[in-house]
Every structure is written in structure tokens, then in C-alpha cells.
């Protein structure tokens, strides 16, 4: 089997000194240099005791060196385990206790807090935002690792913790086969080649920034314009010399707020991808009106890498996530029985294929509970296949509202609310209700400088929705709570307003 490292090595042979990383105001780093440094870093990891199968936990700022550390870990046969930089004390205790890494790489400024963790079986090293720290100090004196590991498709390559949108993050064990097969499918679907120049402004501790964006550039031999955070103005400037942007929906809602976004500033771009959370149809329409580009929305999750994508050629439908990637099977099944449902009916989205993870790290029961006997993984998302065969996501199973015994799918109501004048966005949630079990509740964010009248909004919905779907209460808010990936945290909203009907 081919692995990501083999794909990267092939890129390095073909691209030589071409830039892999470009950063505004800093020297580029070429493919050949990246290969050499990742090989020497792999040697450092070996010297620190990392053997095939050992976990390398990493909580560092985004930098090219952090990507080199990822490559070095795979080269040494280790299992890469990136951690959200927002996690602190007790959370880190949980992850390190759970994953039992051989090596923990932290930011230099947190070394004091973590130095005490070092034991016989856990080394602690540092890596800073500018590449400084003990790890790169060691690299300077290291020879390249002569024999790189040759893992099989079933061997673990990474443990990625889920975003924690619905509860505590779970560690998903991804294999070399998962990463390589998914990367190859995406390269093919999105026509991504060494001629591309990718604007990379996503965090690299999640599947989107690491296994979609970075892997594709590494495997294709494409240059990454590597930005440490999202800044709409900077991104529009970079578009002059780029071809592809991969982002979360908030990237796009912020880009359309810039007067600089137009057909001219995006003229050299060939593809805008959105994923990780639903893209508002409004944003899709506005972006296309302003630039002439139809954003391509895709769907994936930590446990499965990417699952479905709107077509590269052909209609990119707002509100839909498109078709299964090559080699991936999607079905919509009854939530309770698992029986496949006919087209058009809403049910649990299930998926099978070489993209599906090996299981949750050290949670065999949880893993078993999320798979059907025939190997389909239950994603936890609800959706349907529409008349044209596009997959449409209607929300998460956990966010389904059951009011008076009826299923209420929040997205249907949110879409109507979002179209009303003065509304920026909304979240529909179910809150404990003495009569109904759950009361349908709308949390609505007005557009800047505009106001929304809750009673008027409720009235506007009255003749457009069945009575049981109509919000019992409308709550106005300045913004919706989101995690780092820009996902709305409905669990947090439910907690905040838990007592509304009590």
C-alpha cells in the first residue's frame, strides 16, 4: 500500500526546491529541505525513544515545523496525536493519561507547567511558534533517519480527538490506509495538482487543516501559503497569487463582509472549499454573486475523514454536501432499526469504506456501539438523499428535537428564520418542557445594526410551519456559542436556557 509519507517523498523528488511553505515576510521552505528536516527529526524522535506504534502527543502553535513533526512521526512509525492549543491543565492530564504517549511536545512557554510530567517512559520537548525550542535544537545536530518505517494500511498513523461539539472529545484512531485513500480521493475529486497554491489558514490539530488541506499539498507537491490565523484582509491579498482556499463557513461569512471581495480579487482562484459545519445558503449565494465562484461544500468528520463532496464539474448545491467520494459508500437508515430508508426520507447517515477509522482509542464498547454489523459506521448526523442524489444533512442526531412526540429537524426551521428580514443566523434547539417533553426554541442573532421582533418573527413562521414545529419561544442573542472550528455548540445553548419552560 501507498502511505502519505510515500506520496510526500514522491512530491519531494518531483518538486525539489519548490516552496512547500510560503509565509508572508518569511523565507519559504522547499520540499527538499522539508524532506531532509523531517528525516532528521525522525532520527531525533527515535533517539527520544519513539518506536513504531508509539504515540507522539503535540500541543504547539501552528508552524511549518509542526507539520515537519507530523511527517517525522510517520517516518519513524509513530502515531501522531495533535492537541487543540486551547486545552489546559486538567484536559492535558486527561489526554496524556488516555493516550500514554512516548513523547509530549509542548510550547516553550508551557514547559514549566509540563516539565514535571517527564518520566522514564514519557519525554517532554518543546517547539515554539517560530520553530524554536529543544526539538529543533536537537535536529540541528541529528543525521537523517536511514531506515524509515514501512507501516501497512491497517497500522495506526494518528489519533485525532473529535471537536467536542456534542460532548467530551473522543480519540479516533486513523490508519495509514485511511489517510492515504482519502487524500487520493480528494486529489482526484478536486483536481488538485502540483500547480496549485493553497491558502492554508486552518488550525492543524483537526482533520480539516491536517488531513484534508495539508495532506493534499504534501501529496500533490503543491505550495501552501501558510497563515497562522484567519484574517479576511490578508487572505484576500494572498488570493492574488493562489488557486485554492479551504475554509470553515465562518471564513466565508467574514470574507463577504469585506468590500475587497469581488470578481477581480478572486480572479486567479479556481476553487473555494467549505466544510466542518453547515454553510448558510445565503453565504453561498452572496459569495457567488460577488465573485462568480460557487463555493464547493463537502462533508466529513474526524472518524471518517471526508465522506461526500459537491461535484467539481456540475452543480454545487447550497445546502447539500454532494455525492460519496470514490470508494466510499453512504446510506441513510432508520435511526432505531438501522433499516435502509428510501430516497427522500430523513434518517441516520451511515458510511463504509477505506476512509472509516479503526475505532475510538481504548473505547471498544463505544466503538462497537457506533458500527452496524455489516461494517457501516453510524455518523451521528441525520440526512437524506434528495431527488438528484445529493446528500443533504439536516442536523445531528443529538440535536433532533422531539416535541409532543413529533420529530422536529432544526435545520428546516433555521432555514426559514434565516431568510427573514434582519436575521443574521439562528439556532433551533429543544428545551425541557413540562407538557411537550421538549419545547422548540429559536435563538436568533439579528444582523448588525438591525433589530428583530420576536413576536413578529413567530408570526411570520405561523403560516409556513406545522404547529408542532413552530418555536414556542424566540430568544435574541448577540452571537451563537461556537468552538474553534466555528461550529455552533447547541449543547451549550441548551444548558444556558435549560430552565426556560420550567
Residues at the contact surface with ligand ATP, assessed by CB under 6 A: 162-167, 169, 206, 275-278, 297, 299-302, 321, 379-381, 393, 396, 487
Q: What grid cell was written down for 148? A: 524509515
Minimum distance from residue 85 beta carbon to Mg ion (Å): 20
Q: Which C-beta is closer to ligand ATP: that of 30 or that of 278?
A: 278
Shorter beta-carbon distance to ligand ATP: residue 121 or 407: 407
Choose from ligand ATP, Mg ion, none: what does 299 bind? Cβ within 5-8 Å by kind.
ligand ATP
Between 96 and 320, whose beta carbon lies closer to ligand ATP?
320
Quick one: which segment of 129-137, 156-164, 174-182, 189-197 binds Mg ion (CB under 5 A)? 156-164
The b/e string for 65-88 (b: 16+ C-beta within 10 A; e otherwise) is: bbbbbbbbbbbbbbbbbbbbbebe
* Nearest Cα residue to 127 out of 113, 139, 141: 139
What is the Cα–Cα distance from 470 to 40, expressed in whole angstroms? 61
Total of chain residues touching Mg ion, rule CB under 5 A: 1
Distance, in Å, from the CA atom of 94 to the CA atom of 346, rounded to the nearest integer, reads 37
DSSP 3-state of 46? helix
As measured in angstroms, the least distance from the Cβ of 453 to ligand ATP is: 29
Stretch that binds Mg ion, among 6-14, 155-163, 382-390, 485-493 (CB under 5 A): 155-163
The three-state secondary structure class of 156 is strand
Count CB atoms within 10 A of the CB of residue 349. Answer: 29
User: How many CA atoms does the CB half-sphere of 28 hold within 13 Å?
Assistant: 12
Least distance between Mg ion and beta carbon 303 (Å)? 7
Choice between 162 and 182, CB closer to Mg ion: 162
CB atoms within 10 A of CB 26: 11
Least distance in Å: CB of 488 to ligand ATP?
A: 10
| Of 277 and 423, CB closest to ligand ATP | 277
Angle between helices 410-419 and 281-291 (to 10 degrees): 50
Strand partners of residue 119: 122
- Nearest approach in angstroms of CB 180 to Mg ion is 23
> Of 162-170, 268-276, 324-332, 480-488, which segment contacts Mg ion by CB under 5 A?
162-170
Shortest Å, Cβ 212 to Mg ion: 16
Please say which residue, 64 or 164, places its beta carbon nearer to ligand ATP. Answer: 164
Secondary structure (3-state) at 241: helix
CB of 351 to ligand ATP, least distance (A): 10
| Rounded Cα–Cα distance for residues 171 and 69 (Å) | 20
**HSE-CB for 306 with a 13 A CA cutoff:** 35
Q: What cell does 347 get?
A: 434518517
Minimum CB distance to Mg ion, residue 378 (Å): 11
Residue 425 binding result from ligand ATP, Mg ion, none, given CB thresholds of 5 to 8 Å by partner type: none
**In the complex, residue closest to Mg ion by CB:** 162
Taking the C-alpha atoms of residue 171 and residue 169, their distance in angstroms, rounded to an integer, is 7
CB nearer to Mg ion: pick between 227 and 485: 485
Nearer to Mg ion, 9 or 381 (CB): 381
Cell of 330: 453512504
d(CA 80, CA 368): 24
Cα 186 from Cα 435, distance rounded (Å): 48
- CA 274 from chain centre, in angstroms, equals 10
Q: Using the minimum distance from each CB to ligand ATP, give the nearer residue, 30 or 395.
A: 395
Question: At its nearest, how many Å lie between ligand ATP and the CB of residue 162?
Answer: 3
- How many residues are listed for the chain in this entry? 502
Binding stretches for Mg ion (CB under 5 A): 162
Amino acid at each position: 500500500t501507498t502511505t502519505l509519507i510515500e506520496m510526500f517523498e514522491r512530491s519531494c523528488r518531483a518538486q525539489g526546491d519548490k516552496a512547500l511553505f510560503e509565509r508572508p515576510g518569511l523565507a519559504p521552505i522547499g520540499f527538499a529541505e522539508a524532506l531532509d528536516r523531517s528525516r532528521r527529526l525522525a532520527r531525533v524522535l527515535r533517539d527520544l525513544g519513539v518506536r513504531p506504534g508509539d504515540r507522539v502527543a503535540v500541543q504547539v502553535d501552528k508552524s511549518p515545523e509542526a507539520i515537519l513533526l507530523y511527517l517525522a512521526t510517520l517516518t519513524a512509525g509513530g502515531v501522531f496525536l495533535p492537541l487543540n492549543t486551547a486545552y489546559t491543565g486538567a484536559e492535558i492530564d486527561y489526554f496524556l493519561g488516555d493516550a500514554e504517549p512516548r513523547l509530549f511536545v509542548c510550547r516553550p512557554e508551557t514547559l514549566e507547567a509540563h516539565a514535571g510530567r517527564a518520566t522514564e517512559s514519557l519525554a517532554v520537548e518543546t517547539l515554539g511558534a517560530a520553530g524554536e525550542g529543544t526539538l529543533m535544537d536537537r535536529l540541528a545536530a541529528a543525521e537523517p533517519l536511514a531506515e524509515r518505517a514501512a507501516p501497512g494500511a491497517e497500522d495506526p498513523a494518528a489519533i485525532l480527538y473529535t471537536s467536542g461539539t456534542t460532548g467530551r472529545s473522543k480519540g479516533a484512531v486513523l490508519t495509514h490506509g485511511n489517510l492515504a485513500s482519502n487524500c487520493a480521493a480528494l486529489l482526484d475529486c478536486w483536481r488538485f495538482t502540483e500547480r496549485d497554491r493553497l491558502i492554508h489558514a486552518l488550525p492543524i490539530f483537526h482533520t480539516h487543516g491536517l488531513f484534508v488541506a495539508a495532506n493534499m499539498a504534501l501529496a500533490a507537491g503543491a505550495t501552501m501559503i501558510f497563515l497562522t490565523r484567519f484574517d479576511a484582509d490578508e487572505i484576500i491579498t494572498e488570493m492574488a497569487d493562489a488557486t485554492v482556499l479551504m475554509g470553515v463557513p465562518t471564513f466565508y461569512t467574514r470574507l463577504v463582509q469585506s468590500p475587497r471581495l469581488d470578481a477581480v480579487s478572486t480572479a486567479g482562484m479556481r476553487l473555494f472549499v467549505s466544510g466542518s459545519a453547515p454553510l448558510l445558503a445565503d453565504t453561498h449565494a452572496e459569495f457567488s454573486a460577488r465573485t462568480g465562484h460557487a463555493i464547493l461544500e463537502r462533508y466529513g468528520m474526524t472518524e471518517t475523514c471526508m465522506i461526500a463532496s459537491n461535484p467539481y464539474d456540475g452543480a454545487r448545491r447550497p445546502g447539500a454536501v454532494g455525492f460519496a467520494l470514490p470508494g466510499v459508500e453512504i446510506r441513510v437508515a432508520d435511526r432505531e432499526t438501522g433499516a435502509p430508508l428510501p430516497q427522500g426520507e430523513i434518517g441516520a447517515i451511515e458510511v463504509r469504506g477505506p476512509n472509516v477509522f479503526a475505532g475510538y482509542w481504548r473505547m471498544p464498547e463505544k466503538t462497537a456501539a457506533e458500527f452496524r454489523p455489516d461494517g457501516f459506521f453510524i455518523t451521528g448526523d441525520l440526512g437524506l438523499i434528495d431527488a438528484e442524489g445529493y446528500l443533504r444533512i439536516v442536523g445531528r442526531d443529538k440535536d433532533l428535537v422531539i416535541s409532543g412526540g413529533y420529530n422536529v429537524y432544526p435545520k428546516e426551521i433555521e432555514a426559514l428564520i434565516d431568510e427573514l428580514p434582519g436575521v443574521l443566523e439562528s439556532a433551533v434547539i429543544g428545551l425541557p418542557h413540562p407538557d411537550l417533553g421538549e419545547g422548540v426554541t429559536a435563538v436568533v442573532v439579528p444582523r448588525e445594526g438591525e433589530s428583530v421582533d420576536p413576536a413578529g418573527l413567530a408570526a411570520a413562521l405561523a403560516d409556513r410551519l406545522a404547529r408542532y414545529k413552530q418555536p414556542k419561544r424566540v430568544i435574541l442573542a448577540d452571537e451563537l456559542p461556537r468552538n474553534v472550528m466555528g461550529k455552533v455548540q447547541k449543547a451549550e445553548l441548551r444548558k444556558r436556557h435549560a430552565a426556560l419552560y420550567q
